[in-house]
Amino acid sequence: MLILLSNDDGVFAPGLKALHACVSADHECVVVAPDRDRSGASSSLTLDRPLRWAEQDNGFTSINGTPTDCVHLALNGLLDESPEMVMSGINLGANLGDDVLYSGTVAAALEGRFLSRPALALSLCSRSTVHLSTAQHVISEMMKNIEQLVLPSRSILNINIPDLPLNQLKGMLLTRLGHRARAARPVRVTDPRGNEGYWISVVGKGEDAGEGTDFHAVKAGYVSVTPLRIDKTHYDAFSDVENWLGDMQ
């Protein structure tokens, strides 16, 4: 089948190259990715300027926009043929728990929610490329059975692969999203010209990270596989909000 590949680390990222290498062995792939690192872009769209594309020497297409821009354009006019599914990654760095709120990797997959097959967001839990081959093996194994994966419409799978040699992986686990503690305070800085600013600091550690969560699975040496959905409606809060609204009528 035809698969659209994208990411948030940029069109020349080693993880994207590795993803293309393992998926294109058995499927036709087209790559549309940001022209630079757009980590943390979430599902933002560029609405204040035109987006432009360029064909790179590696055969990939770059867009001067966000991961969501890339997939949106690819699925709505840039490509001659519509892909059957979207795969985003391989991100260098985990996307666990609350990370999915900010992740450009997850956002690129989410933009593929209208297609006939579920989208995959793929992350290696490391900033290093040492164990990219482990991630490639996991992805190749998943793709062997991808035809049997049937999920409700507008679903994606968020997949996090431990930073381990292949022979140390313990397997795969179906998980839920954990939750992080509050992030560290931004770091105030002053540049050489005396202008003040802030660096966003590191994410919080796993707070809800017990058994069954993606945090726990990865820490224990398992690949975490978490189904995500677009509907963020908090159904359990309906009665509380209904009572509150009733008090105002």
Q: What is the pLDDT along the chain (249 residues), one digit of tens a residue?
A: 999 999 999 999 999 999 999 999 999 999 999 999 999 999 999 999 999 999 999 999 999 999 999 999 999 989 999 999 999 999 999 999 999 999 999 999 999 999 989 999 999 999 999 999 999 999 999 999 999 999 999 999 999 999 999 999 999 999 999 999 998 899 999 999 999 999 988 888 888 889 999 999 999 999 999 999 999 999 999 999 999 998 887
Length of the chain: 249
User: Pick from 33, 174, 169, 151: which is nearest to 91 by CA?
Assistant: 33
Q: From residue 20, how far is each of 12, 88, 116, 136, 185 by CA, in Å? A: 12, 10, 21, 9, 37
Residues 194, 91: Cα–Cα separation, whole Å: 36
Is residue 232 within 8 Å of residue 173, measured between CB atoms?
A: no
Is residue 91 within 8 Å of residue 7, measured between CB atoms?
A: yes
pLDDT at 134: 98
Residues 129, 112: Cα–Cα separation, whole Å: 26
DSSP string, 107-167: HHHHTTTTSSS-EEEEEESSSSSTTHHHHHHHHHHHHHTGGG----TTEEEEEEE-SS-GG
How many angstroms from the chain centroid is the CA of residue 156? 10
| Phi/psi of residue 219, nearest 5 degrees | -60, -35
Angle 158-96-19 from CA coordinates, rounded to 5°:
45
pLDDT at 116: 87
DSSP string, 71-93: HHHIIIIISSS--SEEEEEEEES
Residue with tokens 């967001």: 121
pLDDT 10s digits, 54-69: 999 999 999 999 999 9
Handedness of CA 89, 93, 94, 100 (dihedral sign): negative
Q: From residue 8, how far is each of 15, 183, 189, 237 by CA, in Å? A: 10, 21, 26, 34
